[in-house]
Structures are given as structure tokens and as C-alpha cells.
Amino acid sequence: MNLTVENLNFAYTSRTQVLHDVSFTIPTNCIMGLVGPNGSGKSTLIKVILDLLQLQNGQVKIGSDISQSRNAKMSSIYLSSNDFLPEFLTGEEYLRFMHGLYGEALDCAALTSQFAKYSMAGRHRDLIEDYSHGMRKKLQLIAAFMLRRRLTVIDETLNGIDIDALRIFEGDVKELVAEGRSVLLCSHDFAMLERVADQLAFLIRGSMVVQAPVGDLIADHGTIADLANELIQVMETP
């Protein structure tokens, strides 16, 4: 397993418990789609998994390492939903900085080809402050695809990238898991998840109500949107 989450509870305050006994696993070679209504706890779950919020109880392991360990942090990368990047750096400097964090040398030829692939040829020497919103998102994706960690966590990072970049992303993310890595992909884009995700984890009001292969869910429910409607109706029925 590349990620094991066991019996996770999390509360921001004593009166607001957000996660309720969440358990799930991501095997190697797996893209796990994480879905759920707004406010269901997806970003909170991701932050606890990556030790950005302190674990209150339960256990998270990345490979065989507990989430708080240096090994776990070195073997995972997080692409956040916002596009706050250091604007005073160029794209190349940002990638060099990211590689430095992981103790890796920057492969300049790979950088050039990644920028070209994502329709940003020649822009790596420009300041990030001059990048569009979509270009900032693509820079985050390039970092993940260059650093190729055991676990890549993507929290709605794809919002705002164009259809061409999305198609390239879909190919790249499948290549990543074909190498034995895993991806946790949080998104409201159900059509994209139907194309790339191997499994789906459904969070409603902080509880993991479904974890199953996407093929099985589609066979049983039609589409992920149909499944979402069914689950939300069941949860809302008193």
C-alpha cells in the first residue's frame, strides 16, 4: 500500500468535528479519486494525511512510514487548491527550489520539455508573477511530474487549466501510477475522474461512505454524478 489511513477523526474545535472515523487505503498503481460535497472534509483529510494539520487520533502511513516521519514527507508531494506560489521566483527557480527540498538535482532538459509539453515553451525564465492562473497550476503539475514521489496528492489543482493541458495531465498521471506510485486526486470534475481514476473514495459530512473501483461504481450506478446524487439523497433522508 502507498497510503493507509486508519480510524481518523479530526476536529478544528471541541464543537466542530470534521472527520469521523475515516479509513481507506491507496494501493500502488492506483489513482484514487476523492469526491464529496463542499465542506465534507476533503481538504481537511488531505492536510491531516500530509501532517499539515496535526493528527489527533488514528494513524496515517505513507508506504511503511508514519505520516509525521521525514521519510513520509520525502516520499509525498502536495499540490494545493490555491495558486499561491513565490511570485519573485521564475518558473525555473521555483522548480530548482522544489528539487532542493527533496534533495534532487534539476534536470534542465526535462524542464524544457515539460514546459513545451504544457504549452509554456520558453516561459521558464519568466517571473511567476507574470504567469496566468492556469500557468501557475501547470507549474505545480510540472513539479509533481518531475519529482515523481511515491504519493502525489492533488487538491483541486486542475481548476482553470485548459482542455489540452488536462489531456496531457491525464496521460502523465497514468504514467506516474504505472511506475508503482499512487495518486490521491480530489476533484469535482466527475467526467475527468471517470477517465483517469482507478478507485473512488466518497466523503460525506466527514464520513467515508464509499471506497470502490470506478468501473464497479459505473456498472452499478451509471455515472459518478448519478452515484453522488443517490448518496446525497440517502444521507439527507431523515
Ligand X SMILES: Nc1ncnc2c1ncn2[C@@H]1O[C@H](COP(=O)(O)OP(=O)(O)OP(=O)(O)O)[C@@H](O)[C@H]1O
Residues 107 to 136 in contact with ligand X, rule: CB under 6 A: none
- If one counts every other C-beta atom within 10 angstroms of the C-beta of residue 158, the result is 25
Does 39 bind ligand X (CB under 6 A)? Our answer is yes
By C-beta, is 4 or 43 nearer to ligand X? 43
Nearer residue to ligand X within complex by CB, 18 or 168: 18
Give yes or no for residue 187 binding ligand X (CB under 6 A). Answer: no
Beta bridge partners of 33: 185, 200
Q: How many residues bind ligand X (CB under 6 A)?
A: 11
Q: Answer whether 208's CB lies under 8 Å from 201's CB.
A: yes
* Nearest to 27, CA basis, from 146, 175, 184, 155: 184
Q: Which is nearer to ligand X, 16 or 233 (CB)?
A: 16
- Report DSSP state, residue 55: -
CA distance 61 to 66: 4
Residue span 8-27 as binding mask against ligand X, x where in contact by CB under 6 A, dash where not: ----x---x-x---------
- Which of these segments, 23-31, 34-42, 136-144, 227-235, binds ligand X (CB under 6 A)? 34-42
CB neighbours of residue 204 within 10 Å = 19
DSSP 8-state symbol, 155:
E
Q: Toward ligand X, which CB reaches closer, 16 or 237? A: 16
Of 8, 24, 31, 40, the one binding ligand X (CB under 6 A) is: 40
Cα Rg of the chain (Å, integer): 18
Q: Rule CB under 6 A: which residues touch ligand X?
A: 12, 16, 18, 36, 38-44
